[in-house]
Amino acid sequence: MPWALRNGRKYFYVSQRDGDKVRKIYIGGGDIGRAAELTLEVRKERQERVRTWLKETTATFNALDQLDTELVIELSAYMYASTGFHMDAQSARRVLKKQGATMPEFIPQIPLPATDKSTWQDLRLRASRGDREAAEALLPLLELHPLLRSRWGDLSRVALTHWLTLICGQDEVALRAMHAKVIEIVQSLRRDTADPLEELLARRVGLLWLQVHYFDAQVAAAMTRTPREQDYLVTRQTGAQAAYTLAVQALNDFQTGVRRRVRSRPAG
pLDDT at 267: 44
Question: Which residue type is seen at 266?
Answer: P
pLDDT for the residue 262: 44
pLDDT of residue 244: 93
pLDDT tens sequence across 188-245: 999 877 888 899 999 999 999 999 999 999 999 988 888 999 999 999 999 999 999 9
Q: What is the pLDDT of residues 237-255, one digit of tens each?
A: 999 999 999 899 989 988 8
Residue count of the chain, please give it: 268
Backbone angles phi, psi at 231, to 5 degrees: -60, -40
pLDDT of residue 260: 59
Question: Residue 163 half-sphere exposure, CB side, CA atoms within 13 Å?
Answer: 26
pLDDT of residue 118: 92
pLDDT at position 263 is: 45
Identify the segments of the chain with pLDDT beneath 50. 262-268
CA–CA distance, 128 with 210 (Å, rounded to integer): 25
Residue 118: half-sphere exposure toward Cβ, Cα within 13 Å: 2
| Residue whose C-alpha is closest to residue 154's, from 219, 47, 229, 71 | 71
